[in-house]
Amino acid sequence: MVATATLLPGFADPVFDAQAVFRAAMDALARPGTIQQIGCPLTPPKGLCAASAALMLTLCDYDTPVYLSAALAQGVVPGWLGFHAGAKITSDKSTCAFAFFEKGSTLPAFGHFSQGTQDYPDRSTTIILEVASLEGGARLSLSGPGINGATEIAPLGLPATFLDQWRVNRALFPRGIDLILTCSNRLIGLPRTVNIKALEG
Amino acid sequence: MTALADYNFAYLDEQTKRMIRRAILKAIAIPGYQVPFASREMPMPYGWGTGGVQVTASILGPHDVLKVIDQGADDTTNAVSIRAFFQKVANVAVTTKTSEATIIQTRHRIPEETLGVNQVLVYQVPIPEPLRFLEPRETETRQMHALEEYGLMHVKLYEDIARHGRIATTYAYPVKVAGRYVMDPSPTPKFDNPKMNQSAALQLFGAGREKRIYAVPPYTDVVSLDFEDHPFEVQTFEKPCALCGARHVYLDEVVLDDKGGRMFVCSDTDFCETRREEGHRGEMLGDIKEAAE
Ligand SMILES: [Zn+2]
């Protein structure tokens, strides 16, 4: 029996908070590179930032197998997610709909996750990765659908192999994973369509 | 509609909204690809835009301002019913002014006024599959999209040219999105196709009966299919709008009397009214000089 008394609450207003968080996620993926904000107050369970927790409550339910990093899987997150969203936790990266990683965790290669099929490229994993900061890191140039010409981001704490992995992911289009970077109550969306290049300096 | 007060905000239950929202995010990530979704029964018949209504219901929030148009007009039965539905189930602010709207649900037109970054255009789609009239089997059309095999579509357009000397398709004219998927723009006149290209607004498409959602992100290439020797061209109109004098807009023919009298006026009623408020006058309203801009 899960000690529900120790569980943190979910959204204060499940209907309107989920709607607002969804719009932030929608804008983030429709306009890659823009930093979107979670406006509603939410106390995340230990291990998650507010944005990752809010996305979990907004998008996950019993239809979406959720993969958690090793640290998250061992903590309070599974109980919190199960209680508030009814989502199933899976240890199978290749079939999960969503995968969550906390700041500093080791991100497996994108190729381990579901990339959809050529017939159904939508049957792919969305990875939610918390980073140290959405700003202040190495400058990256973004282009592609949703971006007027080109834009820049500079997240701090991406895996060293990120650009190579992203290039492989991009080349799989229409297959591929979609990525949402989170930190505190903010997020950046990187759909599979985005071209990412390192900028000097 | 009497029991609607018992329903959730924006009518749909939260689980359904989550499912549709996930489909919308995938649609944005794969521009032009039709994402299957579990379409719900809505308190209106298919053909009344149940796909668009479900998309709007899933994105709509208390701070939105909603505009609903049908063939460019805010005051047709379809538009009035859908607007009233959302006022009732979501208590949302509504407008007829394109510039004031954050969400515009549409059937068969794109507003004349250029849309902005804070706007979402939601299309009601009857038949989402652009290849359906060439190939009735879903397994086959899915395979054609998967392999990017769009030769049949070009053959069809070329047969038009052989038969009519030009591409005869004027509505639901197929487009290629972001250089990959061929997409049905819904039964808008091909006049509106160029407005989809590199639009600042997010464009979402919902097909209720066919259970498909697709999207064009902002600033995305949307190219009408054509041939080098028969480039895509939009409809042109000989005269400006008879009421507001606008040129380079889509006009509807209006019959004035039973003696063959008729005039051509803007199909976008808000655009036409706004111009008249600004003092523009077309032929019917007396000042023909205004038309010569
Ligand atoms: Zn007019």
Alpha helices in chain A (DSSP H): 14-30, 50-59, 70-74, 77-85, 162-171
Quick one: average pLDDT of A47-59? 98
Segment B155-198, tens digit of pLDDT = 988 888 888 888 888 999 999 999 999 999 999 999 999 999 99
Q: What is the pLDDT of residue A5?
A: 44
Residue pointed to by tokens 């060439």: B134
CA-wise closest residue to A81 among A107, A58, A115 = A58
Sequence spans of domains, chain A = 12-193
Cα B109 off chain centre by: 5
Span B242-261, average pLDDT: 93
Chain A's closest residue to B204, CA to CA, is A30
Average pLDDT, chain A: 95
The beta-carbon neighbor of A59 closest among B18, B143, B178 is B18
Query: CB–CB of B178 and A29 under 8 A?
Result: no
pLDDT over 90 percentage in chain B: 81
The pLDDT of residue A201 is 64
Q: E strands, chain A, where?
A: 36-37, 66-68, 89-90, 98-101, 126-130, 140-143, 151-153, 178-183, 186-190, 195-198
How many helices and strands (H and E) does chain B possess?
7, 12
Q: Give pLDDT, residue B292.
A: 46
Which of A21-25, B19-23, B158-162 is least confident? B158-162
A192 in contact with chain B, both atoms CB, cutoff 8 A: yes
Residue B46 has pLDDT above 80, yes or no: no
Cβ contact A30–B218 (<8 Å): yes
* Residue B289 clears pLDDT 80, i.e. is over it: no
Say if the Cβ atoms of A64 and B218 lie within 8 Å.
Answer: no
Query: What would the pLDDT profile of B93-104 be if each residue is shown by its tens digit?
Result: 999 999 999 999
Band of the pLDDT at B9, cuts 50, 70, 90? Answer: very high
The question of whether B286 is a catalytic residue gets the answer: no
Residue B290 binned pLDDT confidence (cut-offs 50, 70, 90): very low
Q: Do A174 and B181 touch (CB under 8 A)?
A: yes
pLDDT, tens digit, 9 for 90 and up, residues B218-232: 999 999 999 998 999
pLDDT in tens, A130-140: 999 999 999 99
Q: In sequence order, what DSSP letters do the residues of B262-285 get, joined into one string?
A: EEEEES-HHHHHHHHHTT---GGG
Instruction: Give the H/E segment covering residue B105.
Output: strand B103-107
Q: How far apart are CA A99 and CA A111, in angstroms?
A: 13
Confidence of residue B45 (pLDDT cuts 50, 70, 90): confident
pLDDT at A1 over 50: no
Count of C-beta atoms within a 10 Å radius of residue B205:
26
pTM of this structure: 0.96
Closest residue in A to B118 (Cα) is A27
The domain at A12-193 falls in which architecture? 3-Layer(aba) Sandwich (3.40)
What is the strand order of the sheet A195-198 is part of? Answer: A151-153, A140-143, A195-198
Beta bridge partners of B223: B176
Which chain A residue is nearest to residue B198, measuring alpha carbons?
Answer: A148
- Check residues B213 and B289 and name the one with the higher pLDDT: B213
Q: What is the pLDDT of residue B140?
A: 96
Burial of B93 (0-12, 13-18, 19+ CB in 10 A): middle
Min distance B43 CA to chain A CA atoms (Å): 21
Residue B58 has pLDDT above 90, yes or no: yes
Measured between alpha carbons, how far is residue A172 from residues A142, B116, B287 in Å? 18, 31, 59
Nearest-angstrom CA–CA distance, A114 and A92: 9
Expressed in angstroms and rounded, the spacing between residue B270 Cα and the centre of ligand 1 is 9
Q: In this model, does residue A40 exceed pLDDT 50?
A: yes
Question: What's the rounded Cα separation, in Å, for the pair B274 and B271?
Answer: 5
CA distance A148 to chain B (A): 5
